[in-house]
């Protein structure tokens, strides 16, 4: 008789991958943060892809009217591609903060999760979310019932993408796929991308990965575990989905990119990798800004969106949005 399936990967007891390929998930939401629900923001959920049963959450300032030309901000959550949903309290609270801070319509899509759906599933779903917006824009003003009323009056020509951690990875790949001007999304126009501590990797370790392999919560082994669970079976940390400048990655010198803002905590394991990412893009002539937040560790922005430190980041993002809105 063969042996019983045994656990080969265990993420905090919430996700277990077994030797026979089966997967178990604990339905508990791994973030005990209280859900913020005040009168400053209205929100609702919509289905944006029926085939994959994917939903998104729309946020708008409660003071807005249908006549306002609200810009649009897409927010792609983190979770190592293995966890996360628009319903998680800390993601929701950050979206509330972003909505009020920028007076924008915020769109927070879900994506399929690994290891049930390995990359590039999440990246494909991120693109589908923007295609959904394109569909809404194309029907705008045609009295079509499928157009959501909350999109009346929004400015489809001023769209920004913000991704945190693995969501920052998704934002990078959207920027590369859509290229400068995002012509394939017309009449939607993406103006810029904000990557907050984007989740990248590589087979060659950086100095900060070698010298600071642990933060208060995160460590390098955790990152490697998320990659093992999310990349295609048999792939490596130099997969183009992991390493934007790996040996098999696309030559970004030939890709026109919209402006990119990279934000990283100075105390993050990935700090040097992300500075290197921004530096390489600058060397290729891309419009890139790199902001290091002294002493902060991974997740500082999402986990504490109302902190003084997060406020400084929000101000910097606001400047980026303003600078690239015309």
What is residue 29's predicted lDDT score, i.e. its pLDDT?
A: 66
Q: Is the pLDDT of residue 1 over 60?
A: no
What is residue 21's predicted lDDT score, i.e. its pLDDT?
A: 87
Express each pLDDT in 20-63 by its tens digit. Answer: 889 999 877 666 788 887 889 999 999 999 999 999 999 999 98
Lowest mean pLDDT segment, chosen from 13-17, 116-120, 189-193: 13-17
Tokens of 174: 């959207």
Q: Is the pLDDT of residue 65 over 90?
A: no
> What is the three-state SS of the chain?
CCCCCCEEEEECCCEEEECCCCEEECCCCCCCCCCCCCCCEEEEEEEEECCCCEEEEEEEECCCCCCCCCCEEEEECCCCCCCCCCCCHHHHHHHHHHHHHHCCEEEEECCCCCCCCCCCHHHHHHHHHHHHHHHHHHHCCCCCCCCCHHHCCCCCCCEEEEEECHHHHHHHHHHHHHCCCCHHHCCCCEEEEEEECCCCCCCCCCHHHHHCCECCCCEHHHHHHHHHHHCCCCCCCCCCCCCCCCCCCCCHHHCCCCCEEEEEECCCCCHHHHHHHHHHHHHCCCCEEEEEECCCCCCHHHHCCCCHHHHHHHHHHHHHHHHCCC
Q: How far apart are CA 74 and CA 99, in angstroms?
A: 11
Q: Is the pLDDT of residue 160 over 50?
A: yes
Express each pLDDT in 166-197 by its tens digit. Answer: 999 999 999 999 999 999 999 999 999 999 99
What is residue 143's predicted lDDT score, i.e. its pLDDT?
A: 63
Could you tell me the residue ranges of all domains in the chain? 36-142+149-324
Question: Helices 121-139 and 166-178, interaxial angle, to 10°?
Answer: 60
Mean pLDDT, all residues of the chain: 93
What is residue 64's predicted lDDT score, i.e. its pLDDT?
A: 76
The mean pLDDT of 275-300, rounded to a whole number, is: 97
CB 273 within 8 A of CB 209: yes
Q: Which residues are catalytic, by number?
A: 165, 268, 298
Q: How far apart are CA 115 and CA 113, in angstroms?
A: 6
pLDDT band at 203 (very low <50, low <70, confident <90, very high): very high
How distant is the alpha carbon of residue 290 from its chain centre? Answer: 17
Q: Is the pLDDT of residue 266 over 50?
A: yes
What fold characterizes domain 36-142+149-324?
Answer: Rossmann fold (3.40.50)
- pTM equals 0.96
Between 5 and 144, where is the model more confident?
5
CB 60 within 8 A of CB 40: no
List, in sequence order, every residue forming a beta bridge with 255; answer none if it has no partner: none
The mean pLDDT of 138-164, rounded to a whole number, is: 87
Q: How far apart are CA 162 and CA 8, in angstroms?
A: 33
Tokens of 190: 């993406």
């Amino acid at each position: 008789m063969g042996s019983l399936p045994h656990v080969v990967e265990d993420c905090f007891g919430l996700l277990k991958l077994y030797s026979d390929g089966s997967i178990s998930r604990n339905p508990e939401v791994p973030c005990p943060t209280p859900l913020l629900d005040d009168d400053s923001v209205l929100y609702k959920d919509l289905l944006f892809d029926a085939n994959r049963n994917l939903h998104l959450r729309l946020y708008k300032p409660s003071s807005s009217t249908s006549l306002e030309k609200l810009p649009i901000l897409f927010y792609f959550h983190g979770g190592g591609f293995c966890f996360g949903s628009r319903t998680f309290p800390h993601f929701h609270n950050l979206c509330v903060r972003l909505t009020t801070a920028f007076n924008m319509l915020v769109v927070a899509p879900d994506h399929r999760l690994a290891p049930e759906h390995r990359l590039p599933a999440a990246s494909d779903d991120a693109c589908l979310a923007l295609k959904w917006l394109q569909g809404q824009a194309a029907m705008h003003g045609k009295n079509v019932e499928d157009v959501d009323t909350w999109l009346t009056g929004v400015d489809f020509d001023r769209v920004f993408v913000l991704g945190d951690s693995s969501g920052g990875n998704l934002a990078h790949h959207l920027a590369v796929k859509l290229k400068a001007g995002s012509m394939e999304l017309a009449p939607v126009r993406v103006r810029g991308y904000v990557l907050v501590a984007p989740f990248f990797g590589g087979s060659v370790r950086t100095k900060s990965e070698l010298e600071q392999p642990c933060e208060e919560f995160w460590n390098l082994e955790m990152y490697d575990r998320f990659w093992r669970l999310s990349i295609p079976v048999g792939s490596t940390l130099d997969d183009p989905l992991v390493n934007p400048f790996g040996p098999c990655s696309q030559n970004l010198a030939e890709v026109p990119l919209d402006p990119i803002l990279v934000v990283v905590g100075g105390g993050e394991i990935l700090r040097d990798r992300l500075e290197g990412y921004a530096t390489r893009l600058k060397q290729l002539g891309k419009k890139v800004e790199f902001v290091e937040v002294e002493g902060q560790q991974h997740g500082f922005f999402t986990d504490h969106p109302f902190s003084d430190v997060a406020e400084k980041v929000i101000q910097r993002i606001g400047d980026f949005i303003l600078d690239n809105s015309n």
